Amino acid sequence: MEANRQSRLEARARILKALGHASRLMIVEELADGEKCVAELTQTVGSDMSTVSKHLSLLKSVGLVQDRKEGTQVFYRLLAPCVLGFFQCVENVMDVQVQRQILLAK
């Protein structure tokens, strides 16, 4: 029955891994304000549109975002706003880590 725990953790990991990339975090941050199309996101992220599209499809594949077609455009929206709550904690870890490094450097 350990295989159960394993696969549960792998599923969790897939979602967290999807958030483990600066561009994808930027996308999530942008979508926090409401849905945006690929071109808009490409503009802010600054990579090739194909790259951004792949990031989006990864986020979609784990269920973090949803897409909606409108004419020739595709709008993405954040399906799990609860992830925005992660950032407070993450920011905290970052700050503590910075302090730690400063102490270490002395």
Partner DNA sequence: GACATATTTGGTTATTTGGCCAAACTTGCA
Partner DNA sequence: TGCAAGTTTGGCCAAATAACCAAATATGTC
Residue 21 as a binder of DNA (CB under 7 A): the answer is: yes
Residue selected from 27, 31, 56, 65 as contacting DNA according to rule CB under 7 A: 56
Given its own copies, DNA, none, residue 86, with its beta carbon under 5 to 8 Å by kind, binds: its own copies
**CB of residue 88 vs DNA: minimum separation in angstroms?**
23
Closer Cβ to DNA, 51 or 92, answer by number: 51
Interface segment toward DNA; rule CB under 7 A; list 3-11, 25-33, 64-72, 95-103: 64-72
Closer Cβ to its own copies, 39 or 90, answer by number: 90
**CB of residue 35 vs its own copies: minimum separation in angstroms?**
17
Q: Please check whether residue 59 is in contact with residue 13, taking contact to mean a CB–CB distance below 8 angstroms.
A: no
Q: Residue 55: CB partners within 8 Å, gap ≥ 6?
A: 21, 23, 24, 27, 45
Interface segment toward DNA; rule CB under 7 A; list 1-9, 27-35, 66-74, 91-99: 66-74
Count Cβ neighbours within 10 Å for each residue of 45-70 and write b for 16 or more, e otherwise.
beeeeeebeebbebbeebebbebeee
- CA–CA dist 55, 59 (Å, integer): 6
- CA–CA dist 14, 19 (Å, integer): 9
